Structure 1
Amino acid sequence: MSQIPGKIFFSLLNALSGISWKNAFRLSNTLKFLLFDLGRYRKNVIWTNLKNSFPEKTHAELKQIADDFYLHFTDLIVETIKFRTAPPELIREHLQGDISIMDGFYASKTNIIYLMGHRGNWELANLFSSLCFTHECIVVYRPLQNEEADQWFLDLRTRFGAILVPMDQIFKELQKPRARPYVVVLANDQSPMPQTAFWTNFLHQDTGVFRGVETIARRYNLTVLYADFSKISGKRGHYHVTITPISLDPKNERPNGILEKQIRILENDIHCQPANWLWSHRRWKHRRPEVLKPEQLYTPGNALPGDISPGDC
């Protein structure tokens, strides 16, 4: 996208953010037809991911999950456009849940790292955290190659004071002196380089996981929390956040124990609400190396204080 057409396109997106929610979801219905029925956007990737992740489900069940995901995906597009100019009260209205756990951490001056998967609307989650947390909010992101697109998302994500930091600069950022406790927010369910990843079984498949989260938590002794964003049934565009402590003492966790806990919770959450995850992502494009280093594995032992198991739906 060249510079002038790009500026025009994103100016149109900003203008489009003023449409009503009713018309926004009408637009989503149209986008679903254009993207998936006509354009067949990544339908093979989506179907392969679903079939391998849910071998116990029938063809009809998988088709229903896929169809639900298509609408969820286009809803995310129009919701994100709406959130570009949405006032604070609308952000609070569309994402609700008990975040009182943060008050105690702030009072004790505890720094936190928040893990999440690509569930719910993660752009809404970023806005919510910078708007509603007393902690200083640091959001880790991957810069986009297109300058206009990158600036549009930067403007969106920093609307309520969040600090955006590329992943390769996060260690430098956390060394800076700060006036108040901070929370680092990042999604950790994308596909890393296989030679350096932590490898585990996730949704019936060998899966690599970024290890940087655990390195950050251990180096800066950050309390690790996990946030899940479920869709509220019958209220399109509305989500509920559930916060789960993963580790209050990261330096004493088993190697990759933090990541293993996160993966088990995420897996359970996906089973509870299957269409609410980014199935169009090529999550399993890398194969597990034949030989892994010890630091790429997790060795379970007897239960330790703080070990957790996924809950029911």
Structure 2
Amino acid sequence: MIKPYPWYYRPLNRLLRGLAHLPLSVLYGLAEVMYFLLAYVLRYRQKVVLKNLRNSFPEKPENEILRIQKAFYRHFAQVMVETLKLAVMPAEELKRRVWFSNPEVMERHFAQGRTVLGLSSHAGNWEWVLTSGAAWLSAHADGVYKPLSNPFFESFMHQLRTRTGAGLIPMRDTLRDMLQRRGETRVVSLLSDQAAGPEDRPYWTQFMNQDSGFYTSADRLASRFHCPVVYVSIRRLRRGYYQIILTELYDGDAPLPANEFLVTEAFVRQLEHDIHAFPADYLWTHRRWKHKRPVSEPVS
């Protein structure tokens, strides 16, 4: 249940919704101003971005790292205005801007009445993945998310993410939701590249040249509920247009070995491939590698 936000956020709500009504061409002009501010004035998380890039691409010269950094800030600013546009964008326009090249990868499982787990990441425009999936796919789409602490932004983002018919599941309620809706025909989308802390019992592996801990919920849910698992790759074709390519990681039938996390490992390798192909389109401001592998944890 979304909590009401304080009255003094109402002017901000009107401002954001007013901006959302502007044409995307105008919003992209605003994004150029935001890009300049983020990259050159505020230097938003610049140390984090450069550290992440240098550690992820040790083979690249510094001038290439700086080029990717600048391209990332421009992409990030564009994603921000594209996300804002969700407040008023019709589902038909979103479907025109996000092309699912092979929806049959999921549709064949929907035809059997199954729940599919869709594993996506903070690449391309991750906010358009769930919302466009609700417009493209024949089954209902739900997204697992971390609720925001600020009541206004939690309410605002909730409305944006559900406008095209998608549902949202707080991360802490994922297992309960899967139990209550067992066997329902739908896709449950998980942003699976978030940094898992020690309390989450993460799966540790090498990702982008660094030790990385990943949530293991995909393997656990797929094994318990016999869900097929699909990797969701979103690639920017040009400004404001994306392609989604689906890759099946697990068919939901063969038993998954316990404590090997084959699904998560397959997701990591697919994501790594995408990042190498489109390095500027990943969320480098994210403190993805803030946790360290315990000394007692074996190297996989």
- Give the aligned partner of residue 228 of structure 1: 233
State the Cα distance separating 1:4 from its structure 2 match: 3.2
Stretch of structure 1 that moved more, 250-259 or 61-70? 250-259
- Give the aligned partner of residue 106 of structure 1: 110
- Give the aligned partner of residue 194 of structure 1: 198
- Give the aligned partner of residue 162 of structure 1: 166
Q: How far, CA to CA, are the matches of 2:212 and 2:169 in structure 1?
A: 26
- Give the aligned partner of residue 45 of structure 1: 48
Matched, 1:77 2:86: no
Q: What is the CA deviation profile of residues 124-161 of structure 1, one whole-angstrom value per residue up to 9, with x for unaligned ones?
A: 11111112211121210100011110001111111122
Q: How far, CA to CA, are the matches of 1:154 and 1:268 in structure 2?
A: 31
- Give the aligned partner of residue 16 of structure 2: 13
Residues 117 and 229, structure 2, Cα contact 8 Å, conserved in 1: yes
Q: What is the CA deviation profile of residues 271-304 of structure 1, one whole-angstrom value per residue up to 9, with x for unaligned ones?
A: 00000100000011111100127xxx75xxxxxx
RMSD: 1.7
Give the match's secondary structure for 1:275: helix
- Give the aligned partner of residue 240 of structure 1: 243
State the Cα distance separating 1:253 from its structure 2 match: 2.8
C-alpha spacing 1:206/1:107, structure 2 compared with 1 (3 Å): same
Residues 142 and 169, structure 2, Cα contact 8 Å, conserved in 1: yes
Matched, 1:136 2:140: yes
Give the match's secondary structure for 1:154: helix
Q: Which runs of structure 2 are paired with 1:250-289 in the superposition (5 Å)?
A: 252-254=255-257, 255-289=260-294
Q: How far, CA to CA, are the matches of 1:190 and 1:83 in structure 2?
A: 23
Q: How far, CA to CA, are the matches of 1:97 and 1:165 in structure 2?
A: 23
Which residue identity lines up with residue 284 of structure 1 in the other structure? W
Q: How far, CA to CA, are the matches of 1:177 and 1:42 in structure 2?
A: 40
Q: How far, CA to CA, are the matches of 1:229 and 1:20 in structure 2?
A: 23
State the Cα distance separating 1:178 from its structure 2 match: 7.0
Give the match's secondary structure for 1:271: helix
Give the match's secondary structure for 2:92: helix
Residues 249 and 263, structure 2, Cα contact 8 Å, conserved in 1: yes
Residues 182 and 225, structure 2, Cα contact 8 Å, conserved in 1: no
State the Cα distance separating 1:250 from its structure 2 match: 6.4
Give the match's secondary structure for 1:252: coil
Q: How far, CA to CA, are the matches of 2:74 and 2:8 in structure 1?
A: 28
Give the match's secondary structure for 2:198: coil
Give the match's secondary structure for 1:150: helix
Residues paired across the two proteins, number: 292
Structure 1: runs of 5+ lacking an equivalent: 299-313
Stretch of structure 1 that moved more, 266-275 or 247-256? 247-256
Q: How far, CA to CA, are the matches of 1:249 and 1:143 in structure 2?
A: 29
Which residue identity lines up with residue 79 of structure 2 in the other structure? L
Matched, 1:204 2:203: no
Which residue identity lines up with residue 263 of structure 2 in the other structure? I
C-alpha spacing 1:275/1:177, structure 2 compared with 1 (3 Å): closer
